[in-house]
């Protein structure tokens, strides 16, 4: 069996924020991929605005570097569970993985998730203990933790013999020993070339190319990115696309792109083992196989993670609709959602009875909130409903998604956390006391119990807790209410501007969400009530002017700072009868029914229907 010894295909996998993208930066720089005078941004692989701002990878990206005349194709994968579908498909394209683990934090939920996917595909692992220069780094214990995780996930004997590289991505250094770092990352390059298997060279056999990722370009349309598993593909070649439904379509390969550094370069042909992008097919989808017309043989279909959360997207119909956005009509919003489906395979968009509303399903709150954030930045206005988990029927039983939750908190907060998770129907699996004042708690919690939990979690742990969760499985539905908001809200009774006088009058009733001067409308949520019922307030009330000097005239009053909520916090905060209105400039919370009397009538009707 011949091998293509000039190529290595690897994926970099890790928990979020363990330094994957920074490590890829260093590999790119040290391999001489960039010219000496070339301006390259930090975390060069994170090209999206939101990726750069938040320091997270959302879309898997590929790059290629040359080391000692060997071409190393590197896939940088996302670390968040919401983008787990991307990680799973990348595993099919590569022969080995670099598992990056933080030298202080050790194994985290996402480390477990991505490693499980890699071991299932029988990939060769190299463990990189990163951030070795951190204070309190504990590399030896972390390597033991990783080994325990490999054993727990049923790794085979070969996989358990993984090489370990100790690295500092930020300093661009690595070594095979824990005590002293080399000047560069030579030892990591060597470990990749030595340990990751070279692809099999079966380029003389009939072509098989499978699409793992999609891209879209206005000039050439849809682009399929994937791996040539066998054979050779050339520009101008007539090929068949084996569709997911079993049908086949013929087309011509119009362009082929290879990867070099951060650029795509046009190439004329690709052989077995190459990772390439192909254009020329209009309706190509993830998991479909390209093969010769006379030798139609499809590869096994790739598994795509099912959505677990859904929201209703509605055309903005608030009193302030159309003030800030360029795209406000249902046609424009629908076009944008359909465009998203071109590249995002974990997303679903379903029509409803109304032409102005769609049910959008995704992998989690982060997945959907990033879509909403991108839309508002592009000039769209829309309203979204409370996120809801997707319930499935399995063997006649209604089941809901359950998440595996890992919480790291200072010892004194463990009681409060266990109580709050218990109230959300969580089961405790494990409790580990590291002896340094920090406790690690592991639970299984229904996904609906986690909606809106992060704000409560932050206040319970005073900001010192860390919470991570990944999808675990579908389990029979828990009875009764799980999670949800307990407090009522303060609702504006009229249109106008929030005044300092109006805010001071209602401050003691709860927490205010708006600053003085903010425009408000009837039915808009302006604060949280400190009781369980909603309260209608006059936040735009102005002080009566008189010509009599008041005895307290010279006393200045201080106002509490309002709680200004981000998009994620707003989505988590919503109740069933509320919308979050999203525009390019503003995020507002509102009642679905703006008029107080109408709201009360609807609530009475609902109550009567519940009794009958």
Question: The tokens of 41 are what?
Answer: 């941004």
Q: Are 198 and 8 in contact (CB under 8 A)?
A: yes
Helix 330-343 × helix 365-377 angle, to 10°:
130
Three-state secondary structure readout of 362-389: ECCHHHHHHHHHHHHHCCECEEECCCEE
Cα 421 to Cα 364, 405, 460, distances in angstroms = 19, 10, 11
Give one word for 108, left, alpha or beta, with left for phi > 0 and alpha for psi -120 to 50. beta
Q: Are 89 and 212 in contact (CB under 8 A)?
A: yes
Helices (DSSP H) in 92-242: which residue ranges?
Answer: 109-120, 139-152, 157-160, 186-195
Q: Are 302 and 242 in contact (CB under 8 A)?
A: no
**Phi, psi torsion values for 247, nearest 5 degrees:** -80, 170
CA angle, residues 242, 245, 251, in degrees to nearest 5? 30
Cα 62 to Cα 65, 258, 264, 392, 475, distances in angstroms = 10, 10, 10, 35, 36
Question: The tokens of 158 are what?
Answer: 């070969």
β-pair partners for 258 = 265
Contacts of 452 (CB under 8 A, 6+ apart): 483, 484, 485, 572, 573
Give one word for 35, left, alpha or beta, with left for phi > 0 and alpha for psi -120 to 50. beta
Strands 7-14 and 248-252: unpaired
How many CB atoms neighbour CB 370 within 10 A? 23
Could you tell me which residues are annotated as the binding site for GTP?
17-22, 130-133
Question: Reduced to 3 states, what is the DSSP secondary structure of residue 136?
Answer: coil
> Which single residue is written with the structure tokens 């990726």?
51
Q: Return d(Cα 271, Cα 266) in angstroms, integer.
A: 14
Three-state secondary structure readout of 382-425: EEECCCEECCEEECCEEEEEEEEEEEEEEHHHHHHHHHHHHHCC
**Counting Cβ atoms within 10 Å, is residue 140 exposed (0-12), middle (13-18) or buried (19+)?**
exposed
Question: Reduced to 3 states, what is the DSSP secondary structure of residue 74?
Answer: strand
Could you tell me which residues are annotated as the binding site?
17-22, 130-133
Cα 31 to Cα 35, 36, 70, 72, 262, distances in angstroms = 11, 12, 11, 10, 13
Q: Are 173 and 183 in contact (CB under 8 A)?
A: yes
125 half-sphere exposure, CB direction, 13 A CA radius: 31
DSSP 231: S
Helix 414-423 × helix 453-460 angle, to 10°:
160
> Which single residue is written with the structure tokens 């990352």?
185
């Amino acid at each position: 069996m011949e091998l293509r010894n000039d190529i290595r295909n690897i994926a970099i996998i890790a928990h979020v924020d363990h330094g994957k993208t920074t490590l890829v930066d260093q590999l790119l720089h040290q391999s001489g991929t960039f010219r000496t005078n070339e301006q390259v941004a930090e975390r060069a692989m994170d090209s999206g605005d939101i990726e750069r701002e938040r320091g997270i990878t959302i879309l898997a990206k590929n790059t290629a570097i040359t080391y000692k005349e060997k071409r190393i194709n590197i896939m940088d994968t996302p670390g968040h569970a919401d983008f787990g579908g991307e990680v799973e498909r990348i595993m099919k394209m590569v022969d080995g993985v670099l598992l990056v683990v933080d030298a202080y934090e050790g194994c985290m939920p996402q480390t477990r998730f991505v490693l499980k996917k890699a071991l299932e595909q029988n990939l060769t692992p190299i463990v990189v203990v990163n951030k070795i220069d951190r204070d309190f780094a504990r590399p030896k214990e972390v390597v033991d933790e990783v080994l325990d995780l490999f054993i727990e996930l049923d790794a085979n004997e070969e996989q358990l013999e993984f090489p370990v590289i100790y690295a500092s991505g930020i300093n661009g250094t690595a070594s095979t020993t824990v005590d002293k770092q080399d000047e560069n990352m030579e030892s990591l390059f060597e470990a990749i070339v030595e340990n990751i298997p070279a692809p099999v060279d079966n380029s003389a056999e009939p072509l098989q190319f499978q699409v793992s990722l999609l891209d879209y370009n206005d000039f050439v349309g849809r682009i399929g990115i994937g791996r040539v598993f066998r054979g050779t593909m050339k520009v101008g070649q007539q090929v068949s696309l084996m569709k997911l439904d079993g049908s086949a379509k013929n087309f011509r390969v119009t362009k082929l792109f290879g990867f070099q550094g951060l650029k795509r370069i046009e190439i004329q042909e690709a052989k077995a083992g190459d990772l390439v992008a192909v254009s020329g097919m209009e309706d190509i989808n993830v998991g479909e196989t390209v093969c010769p017309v006379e030798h139609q043989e499809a590869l096994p279909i790739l598994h795509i993670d099912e959505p677990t959360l859904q929201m209703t997207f509605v055309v903005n119909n608030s009193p302030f609709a159309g003030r800030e956005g360029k795209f406000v009509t249902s046609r424009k919003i629908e076009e944008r959602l359909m465009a998203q489906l071109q590249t995002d395979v974990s997303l679903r968009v379903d029509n409803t009875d109304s032409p102005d509303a769609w049910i959008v399903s995704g992998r989690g709150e982060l997945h959907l909130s990033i879509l909403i954030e991108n839309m508002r930045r592009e000039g769209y206005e829309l309203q979204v409903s409370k996120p809801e988990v997707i319930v499935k029927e399995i063997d006649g039983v209604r089941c809901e998604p359950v998440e595996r939750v890992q919480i790291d908190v200072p010892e004194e907060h463990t009681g409060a956390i266990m109580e709050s998770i218990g109230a959300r129907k969580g089961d405790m699996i494990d409790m580990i006391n590291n002896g340094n004042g920090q406790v690690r708690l592991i639970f299984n919690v229904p996904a609906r119990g986690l909606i809106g939990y992060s704000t409560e979690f932050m206040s319970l742990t005073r900001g010192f807790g860390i919470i991570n969760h990944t999808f675990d499985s579908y389990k029979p539905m828990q009875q009764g209410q799980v999670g949800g908001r307990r407090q009522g809200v303060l609702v504006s009774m009229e249109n106008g501007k929030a005044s300092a006088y109006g805010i001071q009058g209602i401050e003691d009733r709860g927490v205010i969400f708006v600053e003085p001067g903010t425009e408000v409308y009837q039915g808009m949520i302006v604060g949280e009530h400190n009781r369980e019922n909603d309260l209608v307030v006059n936040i735009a009330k102005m002080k009566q002017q008189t010509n009599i000097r008041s005895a307290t005239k010279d006393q200045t009053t201080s106002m509490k700072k309002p709680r200004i909520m981000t998009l994620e916090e707003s989505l988590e905060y919503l109740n069933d009868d509320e919308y979050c209105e999203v525009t390019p400039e503003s995020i507002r919370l509102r009642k679905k029914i703006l008029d107080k009397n109408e709201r009360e009538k609807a609530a009475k009707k609902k109550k009567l229907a519940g009794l009958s």
